[in-house]
Amino acid sequence: GEDVEQSLFLSVREGDSSVINCTYTDSSSTYLYWYKQEPGAGLQLLTYIFSNMDMKQDQRLTVLLNKKDKHLSLRIADTQTGDSAIYFCAEIPNQAGTALIFGKGTTLSVSS
Amino acid sequence: NAGVTQTPKFRVLKTGQSMTLLCAQDMNHEYMYWYRQDPGMGLRLIHYSVGEGTTAKGEVPDGYNVSRLKKQNFLLGLESAAPSQTSVYFCAISPGQRANYGYTFGSGTRLTVV
């Protein structure tokens, strides 16, 4: 079955770059997503990338997609304490009757 | 979160009690989903609906039932609550299966079964 893998924890210092990695299993997934969850809150869509793209940049966020290796990464430049949260990688397999499949989430801790 | 309202926000149940969680949306989306979130497990799909009057099982459907009698509401029921159902429950909506906007999530219901 489908599975999305992420490392569970990442700790960085304020001002550094953070890189959160994810591997997914369905090579036919059309869209891949990054969600952010702040403590006690729901999930917010951070960014997404279409499968025919290698990279997408949005202000401090850069998403890299390596379809050959089924590897997705999220880079946060100039990480701030407000970026401390859980980050989820997610995919929708390209088959009928499926829904977003999430990784277990990476907890990003930013120290000042 | 805008467009998706979950009630209640918190609830404590005794083992064996029943309850219904309500998800209401005002975005006129066809697809609605119920997920549960447990520490270290990420989000797992319980049930989902692709339109009014339809429901389907997700990854972890046992112990739950759902109904989508109206397009804007998706109800999740626990007939006989068990401690293993202690979790945070999230409702999500989307305009289609592979929407390029992803899903819109509610703020969650924190359920404790004692």
Contacts of B56 (CB under 8 A, 6+ apart): A97, B47, B48, B49, B50
List the single residue in A with minimal CA-CA distance to B37.
A104
**pLDDT > 70 in chain A, percent:** 95
Look at residue A46 and tell me whether its pLDDT is greater than 90.
Answer: yes
Each residue's pLDDT tens digit in chain B (114 positions)? 459 999 999 999 999 999 999 999 999 999 999 999 998 888 999 999 999 999 999 999 999 999 999 999 999 999 999 999 999 999 999 988 766 667 899 999 999 999
Structure tokens of A19?
A: 């890189």
- According to the model, what pLDDT value does residue A18 have? 97
Q: A44 touching B, CB under 8 A?
A: yes
DSSP strand pairing (A71-76 vs A18-23): antiparallel
- Characterize the bridge pairing of strands B10-13 and A55-58: unpaired
Q: With contact defined as beta carbons under 8 Å apart, do B111 and B86 qualify? A: yes
> Is the Cβ of A7 closer than 8 Å to some Cβ of chain B?
no
B98 CB neighbours in chain A (<8 A) are 30-31, 92, 94
pLDDT at A20: 97
Residues in A touching B58 (Cβ below 8 Å): 99
Q: Which residues contact B5 (CB under 8 A, 6 or more apart)?
A: B23, B24, B25, B106
Q: Check the CA dihedral B15-B61-B100-A49 and report its sign.
A: positive
More confident residue, A76 or A27: A76
Shortest Cα distance from B14 to chain A (angstroms)? 23
**Position A1 pLDDT exceeds 60:** no
Residues 6+ apart with CB under 8 A from A81: A14, A110, A111, A112
Chain A to chain B, count of Cβ pairs less than 8 Å apart?
Answer: 61
Q: Is A5 on the interface with B (CB under 8 A)?
A: no
Give the one of A35, A92, A104 whose C-beta lies nearest to B98's C-beta: A92
The rounded distance, in Å, linking the Cα atoms of A38 and B60 is 25
Instruction: Answer yes or no: do A41 and B98 touch at CB < 8 A.
Output: no
